[in-house]
Amino acid sequence: MKSVMKPRNRRTFLRELGVGAASVPFLSGLASLRASAPSRPAQRLVIMFSPNGTLPTEFWPDQFGPDTPLQLKPMLQALEPFREQTLILKGVNNKIRGDGDNHMRGMSCLLTARELSPGNIQGGSDSPAGWASGISIDQQIRNHLQTDPETQTRFGSLEFGVAVPNRADPWTRMCYAGANQPLAPIDDPRQMFDKLYGGAKERQLLGSVLDQVSEDLRRVERRLSGEDRRMLAEHMESVRQLERDIAAAAAQAEPLHPEPEIDPTIELVNDNTPAISRMQIDLLVNALANNMSRVASLQYMRSVGLARMRWLNIEEGHHGLSHEPDDNADAHDKLLRINAWFAGELAYLARRLAETPEPAGEGSMLDHTQIVWVNELGKGNSHTLSNIPFLLVGGGAGFPTNRALDLKDATHNRLWLSLAQAFGDHDLATFGSPEFCDGGPLAI
Amino acid sequence: MFRSTNCLLSFAGFLTVVGLFEAAVLTRVTAEEPIPIGKLYEQKCASCHGADGQGVAGVYEAALAGPRSVAELTGLIERTMPEDDPDDCVGAEAAAMAQYIYDAFYSAEARQRLGLDAPLRLELMRLTVPQFRNSVADLLVHFTPGPAETRARLAAVESGRRPRGGGRRGQQEAVAKPIEAGMRGLYYGSAGMNKANELALERVDQRIEFDFQEAAPVEGVPVEQFAIVWEGALSVPETGDYQFRVATPNGARLYVNFDPAPGIGKLRDDSGNKGQTALIDAWVSSGSLQEASARVFLLGGRKYPIRLEFFKYKEPTASIKLEWKPPHGIWSVLDGASLSTEELSRTFVVETPFPPDDRSQGFEQGRSVSTQWQVAVTGAAVATADEVVKRLPVLVGPARKAAGADAAGEAGQAAEEDLAVEAARRDELQQFIADFARVAFRRPLATDEQTLLRERFFDDQTDPELAVRRAVVWVLCSPEFLYPELARDEPENTEQLPDPHTVAARLALSMWDSLPDQELMQAAESGELVQHEQVQTHAWRMLADPRARHKLRGFYGHWLELEDRDLAKDQQLFPQFDDAIIADLRRSLELFLDGVIWSESSDYRQLLTADYLLLSPRLRPLYQPAEEQAAAEATDGGPSAETFEPVVFSPHQRSGVMTHPYLLSALAYHNNTSPIHRGVFLSRKIVGRTLNPPPVATAFENEQFDPHLTMREKVTQLTSHSSCMSCHSVINPLGFAMEHYDAVGRWRTEENGKPLDTLSDYTSETGESVQLANARQVAELALSSPAAQRGFIAQVAQHWTKQFPVAYGPETVDRLAAAFETEQFHVQNLLVRIATIDALRNEQASLALATSPTSAMGE
């Protein structure tokens, strides 16, 4: 299917299109949108997920060590502008076992670092399983930040998705508010836009309609006798009052960064994935810039992602390709392009953050944001949960960057412990299953 | 300890309500008096009541005005006035004084003559909150096709092809299978991901409460993996929050009030139901029994689609239970009483919270507007616009896909085709909005209005869906929708034939609190609905609709003051009286009222004199006479917990609603009876008396009395002052007659070991003395009292039309009362008559009063 060119006048934007009522009452003033000067620098976390493992030979640099400047392989070329703010971690392994297949555990134990509950969802092999049995690291950090008025935000965290299939199971969820409480990513930019800016759009819509209602009321009032006019007069006054309230709320809620333009007519279909991805990233950066949230996740597809990336001229599904043996040169080439594309999206996210000055702070937003790129597997055709390609960009956690470390068989529980402590949660002694936390936070 | 309830003040606000409409009985007394009566008034009364009865600050501030007859006033003056010496004005002087007061400033006529009261007239009303919610629901229902057509339209969205044929509107669509009580259950054997692999059995299940343990649910499905889908319709008796709860160790999803989706027959882990959100999603199990619940706001008097999907995959056991908790109810398993196998489409429900409607006149009316209300209306309008835009493929039909770019032709040609497709959709949506406004405004749109609509919303620069969104918000905020009487351009001339669309609009409001349906609109379109017979025929048809029954349930609440009652009792004294009992009592009362009113005889007298209670197995131990209980146990093995069966009492023990334990418990303290609450209720609501506000606010505090006294003795002591007795001479005898019922409404014969004394002298409004000792005598008193019947009629009319009946003409209540008596107190007849008068408002309405509406009854 080719995408249909739309005539010019169809290109309306959400800026014009009034949107949903449900998320934000149109009268709630959102004064907190404007960031005030903080007493300590802001820290933000963005977790980005892409599925089906990586190509180890194309991902890992040739040299590791704290003192060796980072060299990026060609697959990661898109990240070259941010190389000095990049940290690659090898040898971090997901050792969680128990029910469920590796894709399931790779996904639902990735950020929770805890076993799955027994359940009724059957994978390709192994025993059926249910949801993860604990909170995920992004939510752990979110909860920590929400306890402090200075780091508290309207949403706490935002879960973005790109091309996530409409189903809820352990393969499609990585964020958990707690045991058996998966959080669904929002993969529709319009829905996310509503959630973030719905109130403003609604106010705009109502402004124009209420004008007409006032006019109508004046017209019918003329037909009424004195007594009945009283109620119409009250009615007109209440409409005027509402118009005033809306104007006041609008003025109060004016965000620091204007909302991005989103094409409301975009269809949520596979072939539009590149455009949807950019919209989601724009919305994500915008929400962080407006201090609506300090934690976000960006989930591409799901574990076992089946996307057919025709925009890269690849007709086969991603998951199928990832199963091909190492010596299949064609599959290798395609997987290279697929992972290079994900690296490009990550680079776009980093660039948008780098271009945005830190609100009420120094440097760019990237200097204060920790991006963590994760995957449910180390390598597609072996389904290993070892050597998961963890790649960190940005300065949010304050880890030294411009280097690659080989941590040689460290549990990923310990990585999340380091991250939590970097975000100020110093009281956290273990994260996920305690038996995998020996040694405490990783020294990175 | 008694709660210190200020029982006397609590009814002060209602005093003028009931009796306002009673036509004054003019019994002129001619008496020769040496001193002009006006002078006597000045001497004996004016110091407290003012020269013109306007009241005196600090003494007696209320104006002398009200609904009492001259005879009533005479009795009152004779017994109680002047306050310091009630014997000073008696006999002929009292009668003359009453007449003087009545004519000079007390009566409605006098007050109008003096310009003290505005003339009672039909006021302009906005939609009440229930009317707003129901109108919006039916507005969308009007455009919602039946389930088969909905599925076809949604399938077309996916395939890109438009369905053939227009499809019928409205919810009725030919359903092949007969409609039964319960839910249709489809039992499947599963194969891995494919949960609905093979249909093994289809049957109707009354309740979803199964424990399959380690076995297969039915023969022919594998014990290790199977799935069951239950689907049907849920009937909802009242408006409010409904909670649902699913308990299972396996996987389940519950959908309530959804659009039937094209792919809903398939059941896979990975397909979900397109575009639908499960109310409860417990699809993934977690190794133990999971209990998930959710809440949804639903409008009463309607049915909603409901669907439960369930599957087992390799878990050791399987079980599933579906429960609900309706408003005023407790958690119970949903059963065939509320479920049917009917297939339905979605009904949109506005959930936006609204401020309550004005009740200053004693019943809900749309007679005031506030910013809060405006905010609610606007929020509801935006939510409705969301719903409309989201469901355009269902409500209007799917948009045609632009085929342009796929065709082999030139690019220019393709773009042109796209533009044509777009223009066609724009026209379609514009037509939809014109229809939407027509249905919402309850009348056809004039040509200039259609033009205006187009110019306002559908210019070429605006995205047509945005135009729809704006237009929907505008329609629901406009005066034509919110004030049904303003929908017409010209004020109505009562000399002329009424406009049929206006008649249809009024009829739909009074019968359903909603918009006219298709049939009513068609009748208006073809110029029917101008003769009272035509209107009555429709009224009868509409009375059979669940929406009318739901509206009448609202009347029960209004008449019997059922809302916001706290029935909680002292658990030491009444340990069995728990939430389950209270919920059952309420259901028992509603079933009783429904049973009487919707029976063929529909007899008001039955409401007051029935000698039975409807009791569930839970209620029997508390209320059933012991001998009956033993007999019942001997005969059957016990009916299901939700079955209510009539249990007959000896006639002096139970007599209609006033002896129903729900009401008796509501009108009592948490640890004792309250003759004052019961007496006030009976005075105002059953025997049709009116009460003045208490001159002194007095609270009943139990600890102030000698504990050896009976309740009757305490109340007698408390109200013994002459200023109290002007009302309590009415209240107390009625309340004392109910002392046979304890604080939870059980029959008793003694109190604190003393035999009960329930006998007192009661003086009727015409001055006659009657002895009252039990509830049945109170009922007989009411049945012999025209004021009681007029009071009932007025309350029905107020609930039905939101107007005072006297506003339809001074004789209205009297004429309704005359017809009521002639027709054996037939409540359904009364409802139809009231609706007809409201709809026509001209001499046809008078004809409706003069002739019997029973001719249409058989239809």
Residue B437 confidence (pLDDT): 97
Residue B26 confidence (pLDDT): 31
Query: Helix, strand, coil: what percent of chain B each, to 5?
Result: 45, 15, 40
Helices B827-840 + B812-822 axis angle, to 10? 150
Q: Which of residues 354-393 of B touch A (CB under 8 A)?
A: 367-371, 373-375, 378-379, 382-383, 385-386
Residue B66 confidence (pLDDT): 76
Write the CA distances from A250 to A26, A391, B82, B469, B755, integer angstroms.
9, 40, 64, 20, 71
Write the CA distances from B688 to A43, B24, B789, B831, integer angstroms.
72, 14, 7, 19
Tell me the DSSP string of B563-577.
TT------TTT-TT-
Give the domain-ending residue among A229, A258, A287: A258
Instruction: Decide if pLDDT at A29 tops 60.
Output: no
The DSSP call for residue A262 is -
Is B535 within a domain? Answer: no
The DSSP call for residue B703 is G
Backbone angles phi, psi at B25, to 5 degrees: -90, 115
Same-domain pairing of A299 and A364: yes
Give the domain-ending residue among A258, A287, A305: A258
Average pLDDT of chain B is 85
Same-domain pairing of A207 and A308: no
Same-domain pairing of B606 and B476: no
Is A178 within a domain? Answer: yes
User: Rounded to an integer, what distance in angstroms lies between the CA atom of residue A253 and that of residue A33?
Assistant: 7
**Taking CB atoms and an 8 Å cutoff, what residues of chain B touch A2?**
405-406
Is A39 within a domain? Answer: no
Give the domain-ending residue among B763, B783, B803: B783
Contact status of B483 with chain A (Cβ, < 8 Å): yes
Domain range enclosing B430? 129-150+353-482
**Taking CB atoms and an 8 Å cutoff, what residues of chain B touch A20?**
386
Q: Which of residues 295-324 of B touch A (CB under 8 A)?
A: 311-315
What are the helix and strand counts (H, E) for chain A? 9, 9
Is B9 within a domain? Answer: no
Contacts of B443 (CB under 8 A, 6+ apart): B487, B488, B499, B501, B502, B505
Find out whether A354 and A395 touch, Cβ atoms under 8 Å.
no
* CB spacing of A231 vs B473 below 8 angstroms: no
pTM given for the model: 0.83
Is B551 within a domain? Answer: no
Mean pLDDT of B90-109: 82
Same-domain pairing of A158 and A283: yes
Same-domain pairing of A272 and A254: no
Mean pLDDT of B300-311: 96
Over its C-alpha atoms, chain B yields an Rg (Å, rounded) of 31
- In chain A, what is the greatest distance between 2 CA atoms, to the nearest angstrom? 90
Is B624 within a domain? Answer: no
* CB spacing of B287 vs A131 below 8 angstroms: no
Same-domain pairing of A252 and A379: no
* CB spacing of A21 vs B486 below 8 angstroms: no
Mean pLDDT of B98-112: 78
User: Rounded to an integer, what distance in angstroms lies between the CA atom of residue B76 and that of residue B63?
Assistant: 16
| Parallel, antiparallel or unpaired: strands B183-191 and A403-411 | unpaired
Out of B379, B462, B477, the one facing A213 most closely (by C-beta) is: B477
Find out whether A244 and A163 touch, Cβ atoms under 8 Å.
no
Contact status of A202 with chain B (Cβ, < 8 Å): yes
Is B424 within a domain? Answer: yes
Which residue of B lies nearest to A166 if distances are taken between CA atoms? B272
Same-domain pairing of A180 and A235: no
Same-domain pairing of B725 and B823: no
Which segment, A72-76, A223-227, B417-421, is predicted with the most confidence on average? A72-76
Say whether A417 sits in a helix, a strand or coil.
helix
Same-domain pairing of A305 and A393: yes
Residue (of B387, B305, B394) closest to B351 by Cα position: B387
Same-domain pairing of B378 and B317: no
Same-domain pairing of A322 and A417: yes
User: Rounded to an integer, what distance in angstroms lies between the CA atom of residue A432 and that of residue A133?
Assistant: 9
Higher confidence at residue B768 or residue B226? B226
Give the domain-ending residue among B313, B340, B367: B340
Amino acid at position A59, single letter: F
User: Rounded to an integer, what distance in angstroms lies between the CA atom of residue B479 and that of residue B126?
Assistant: 8
Residue corresponding to tokens 């000896």: B650
Contact status of A241 with chain B (Cβ, < 8 Å): yes
**B448 burial type by CB count under 10 A (0-12 exposed, 13-18 middle, 19+ buried):** exposed
User: Rounded to an integer, what distance in angstroms lies between the CA atom of residue A391 and that of residue A375?
Assistant: 10
* CB spacing of B474 vs A209 below 8 angstroms: yes
First CA to last CA across chain B, in angstroms? 57
Which residue of A lies nearest to B457 if distances are taken between CA atoms? A209
Residue B642 confidence (pLDDT): 72
**B85 burial type by CB count under 10 A (0-12 exposed, 13-18 middle, 19+ buried):** exposed
Which candidate in B280, B367, B374 is best for mutational testing of the A interface (most A CBs within 10 A)?
A: B374
Which candidate in A4, A126, A205, A209 is best for mutational testing of the B interface (most B CBs within 10 A)?
A: A209
Find out whether B405 and A2 touch, Cβ atoms under 8 Å.
yes
**Taking CB atoms and an 8 Å cutoff, what residues of chain B touch A170?**
284
Is B399 within a domain? Answer: yes
Is A441 within a domain? Answer: no
Residue B405 confidence (pLDDT): 45
Helices B532-543 + B546-559 axis angle, to 10? 90
Total number of residues shown for chain A: 444
Out of B286, B382, B477, the one facing A117 most closely (by C-beta) is: B286
Q: What is the pLDDT of residues B787-810, one digit of tens each?
A: 899 889 999 999 999 998 888 887
CA atoms within 13 A on the CB side of A81: 14
Same-domain pairing of B357 and B322: no
Domain total in chain A: 2
Residue A25 confidence (pLDDT): 54
Which candidate in B284, B389, B449 is best for mutational testing of the A interface (most A CBs within 10 A)?
A: B284
Find out whether B845 and B836 touch, Cβ atoms under 8 Å.
yes
Say whether B552 sits in a helix, a strand or coil.
helix
Contacts of A99 (CB under 8 A, 6+ apart): A115, A116, A117, A118, A119, A126, A127, A128, A129, A130
Find out whether B538 and B838 touch, Cβ atoms under 8 Å.
no
Domain range enclosing A403? 44-188+268-436
Is B66 within a domain? Answer: yes
Domain total in chain B: 5
Residue B34 confidence (pLDDT): 65
Give the domain-ending residue among A258, A290, A309: A258
Say whether A303 sits in a helix, a strand or coil.
coil
Is B630 within a domain? Answer: no
Same-domain pairing of B195 and B313: yes
Residue B459 confidence (pLDDT): 81
Mean pLDDT of A111-140: 90
Over its C-alpha atoms, chain A yields an Rg (Å, rounded) of 24
Q: What is the pLDDT of residues B38-88, one digit of tens each?
A: 888 988 898 889 888 888 887 887 888 876 777 778 888 888 888 888 888
Q: Percent of chain B at pLDDT above 70?
A: 85
User: Rounded to an integer, what distance in angstroms lies between the CA atom of residue B724 and that of residue B8?
Assistant: 10
**Taking CB atoms and an 8 Å cutoff, what residues of chain B touch A104?**
none
Contact status of A122 with chain B (Cβ, < 8 Å): yes
Contacts of B39 (CB under 8 A, 6+ apart): none
Which segment, B207-211, B702-706, B838-842, is predicted with the most confidence on average? B207-211
**Cβ neighbours of A5 (radius 10 Å):** 14
Write the CA distances from B84 to B62, B81, B528, integer angstroms.
18, 7, 64
Both structure tokens of B803: 């107007």
Same-domain pairing of A184 and A283: yes
**A8 burial type by CB count under 10 A (0-12 exposed, 13-18 middle, 19+ buried):** exposed
CATH number at residue A422: 3.40.720.10
Instruction: Decide if pLDDT at B309 tops 90.
Output: yes
Residue B814 confidence (pLDDT): 85
* CB spacing of A10 vs B422 below 8 angstroms: yes
Instruction: Decide if pLDDT at A407 tops 80.
Output: yes
Backbone angles phi, psi at B313, to 5 degrees: -140, 95
Which candidate in B136, B348, B473, B803 is best for mutational testing of the A interface (most A CBs within 10 A)?
A: B473
Contact status of A169 with chain B (Cβ, < 8 Å): yes
Find out whether B613 and B649 touch, Cβ atoms under 8 Å.
yes
Both structure tokens of B67: 């609904």
Q: What is the pLDDT of residues B640-682, one digit of tens each?
A: 667 899 999 999 999 999 999 999 999 999 999 999 999 999 9
Contact status of B327 with chain A (Cβ, < 8 Å): no
Same-domain pairing of B582 and B707: yes
Higher confidence at residue A53 or residue B708? A53
Instruction: Decide if pLDDT at B403 tops 60.
Output: no
Same-domain pairing of B759 and B821: no
Of A128-132, B108-112, B423-427, B442-446, the poorest mean pLDDT is in: B108-112
Mean pLDDT of A272-287: 95
Give the domain-ending residue among B743, B760, B783: B783
* CB spacing of B456 vs A212 below 8 angstroms: yes
Mean pLDDT of B184-189: 95
Same-domain pairing of B676 and B801: no
User: Rounded to an integer, what distance in angstroms lies between the CA atom of residue B12 and that of residue B718?
Assistant: 18
Find out whether A126 and A103 touch, Cβ atoms under 8 Å.
no
Mean pLDDT of B272-296: 84
Same-domain pairing of B193 and B311: yes
Element (H, E) at A65: none
Same-domain pairing of A217 and A296: no
Q: What is the pLDDT of residues B807-822, one digit of tens each?
A: 888 778 888 999 999 9
Tell me the DSSP string of B620-665.
HHHHS-HHHHHHHHHH-S---TT--EEEE--TTT--SGGG-HHHHH
Mean pLDDT of B462-468: 88
Is A290 within a domain? Answer: yes
Higher confidence at residue B638 or residue A397? A397
Q: Quick one: residue A358, left, alpha or beta (phi over 0 = left, psi -120 to 50 = alpha)?
A: beta
Higher confidence at residue A279 or residue B850? A279
Which residue of A lies nearest to B477 if distances are taken between CA atoms? A213
* CB spacing of B269 vs A20 below 8 angstroms: no
